[in-house]
Amino acid sequence: MARIGIIAFLHESNTFSSQLTTLSAFEQNVLLTGEPIREALAESHHEVGGFFAGLAAAGAQAVPLFAARALPSGTISASDFDSIVSQLLLSLESAGHLDGILVAPHGATVSENHPDADGYWLNKLRTSTPPGMPIIGTLDAHANLSALMVESCDALIAYRTNPHLDQRDRGIEAANLMMKTVRQQISPVMAAVFPPMAISIERQCTDEAHLKPLYAAADYQLTNDRVLSNSILLGFPYADVAEMGSSVIVVTDGDRQLADRMAHDLASIMWSMRRDFHDDFTSISEAIDQSQATDGPVCLLDMGDNVGGGSSADGTELLSAIYAAGIGPAFGCLFDPAAVAACQQAGVGNTVTLSVGGKTDNLHGSPMLLDLTVRSIHEGRFNEPMPRHGGITDFDQGRTVICETNHQLTLMLTSKRMVPFSLHQLKSCDLSPARFRFLVAKGVNAPIAAYREVCDTFIRVNTSGSTCADMTRLNFLHRRRPMFPFEHTTEYKESTV
């Protein structure tokens, strides 16, 4: 029976965030070695759950080694990144004989000491394993792919959906590819191409028309029996690193020339569509006008405070405008531990005057001074049984308070940052999402998978912040130059890794 190791280290690092990510962020989410990984993730919608399922179906033994995951946030501190990588490599030392390793990097991880953090740890893993041992893995569709990531693995497979609903399927695909490789049925060869372009986060929803031709071209390539896999990396614009940008991967069965040619073909199609991946943005005032003219519940996507992209989760620009306009009933969520504590002290049924939100930094709006009536207090834990963006099933946003203003605005105040990936975030606090006319979700594409159960209309709002959708407004120091859309006259010169 083949013994296949499993390693996961996932973090989407927003270098424009003012706060470093530390080890505690992983400890609060996932930081495990050995068999507890199986208990935590084997049945999840995550790619690691797919690893376990795919290996079991193929009659192989899964050997869980290491798993670390934290919610998207700022750059990882140097010392804590080194500590995580040391734990990762130590888990390999005690694994015994392995026939291969399945890996789950995010692809957009940045540490203070290693801008290409995923490339760094994958290369460390490669040099710590016997020559010829296959290393095959998955990538988030938002990966900023690097040459070092490609050189360190035999094959990498990215999610094909955004919102990410196919993570488990991609894990199964990677496991199947691993078992065929171990059994010498195939010999994967990988090629990657990096056109000098970045795709706006606003245009990265794979359900929408502008991306469909690109994915259709990728699907057509898969009809060639020699093509084992291909991937479109949309990229993560909020990492100021040289690797930031979009790219493609093609994996073939032993045919490097075919892999190169098809990767170039796919990259050329991506490049030819580059102007379709950037659009005019909707201002806050325009979004409020549009939402008032729309029937039924409307989800207003607060793009500048995209928690799933590593933002502060306490942005107030959009909520302040809704409050000032007096429209509702409306719902919004803010990360504000101090306000939670003050509401707890005031007690349910009482009204307290508080300054809420806008406290993490000066990028996401000013604090709102509000008279808040405390309606309920909750533990803040909830479960999502359906496949949702990120593959997460268990959530903990800490002690949570539900408050109401006299302007038809209901606020959820949390003591931990939380991504808006599940309607059970509201339901667990006895809120019916359908009763709100306007729901603010701090995201761009990821919340759609959950919120489309109650909202027919989504409006992406160009708010300020560390995840501002207009990437040209961000102060990049380390990105490639020239690069579209920053330099509109950029030319594409083909090269392959």
Residue-level pLDDT at 494: 77
| Backbone φ, ψ for residue 330 (5° rounding) | -130, 155
> Of the candidates 300, 306, 275, 305, which has an alpha carbon nearest to the alpha carbon of residue 288?
300
pLDDT for 371 equals 97
**CATH class of the 3-277 domain in this structure:** alpha beta
pTM of the model: 0.95
- Residue 496 pLDDT > 80, yes or no? no
Q: Is the pLDDT of residue 279 over 90?
A: no
* pLDDT confidence of residue 390: 83
pLDDT reported for residue 453: 95
CB 50 within 8 A of CB 285: no
Q: Where in the chain is the domain with CATH 3.40.50.2300?
A: 3-277
Of all residues in the chain, the percent with pLDDT exceeding 90 is 95
> Which segment, 143-152, 272-281, 487-496, is predicted with the most confidence on average?
143-152
SS3 270: helix
CA dist., res. 381 & res. 398, Å (int): 7
Query: Does the pLDDT value for residue 217 go beyond 80?
Result: yes
User: Residues 429-433: contacts with CB within 8 Å, 24+ apart?
Assistant: 429/376, 429/378, 429/400, 429/402, 430/376, 430/402, 431/331, 431/402, 433/297, 433/331
pLDDT of residue 393: 87
Q: Say which amino acid occupies 398.
A: G
Cα–Cα distance for residue pair 320/330, rounded to 1 Å: 12
Q: Is the pLDDT of residue 436 over 80?
A: yes
Count CB-CB contacts under 10 A for residue 495.
Answer: 12
pLDDT over 90 at 266, yes or no: yes
- Residue 96 — φ and ψ, nearest 5°? 80, -165
Given this model, what pLDDT does residue 495 score? 73
Say whether pLDDT at 167 is over 80. Answer: yes
Mean pLDDT of the chain: 96
Residue 295: what pLDDT?
85
Q: What's the confidence (pLDDT) of residue 123?
A: 98
- pLDDT computed for residue 434 by the predictor: 95
Q: What is the pLDDT of residues 337-392, one digit of tens each?
A: 999 999 999 999 999 999 999 999 988 999 999 999 999 999 999 999 998 988 88
- Region 391-405: mean pLDDT is 95
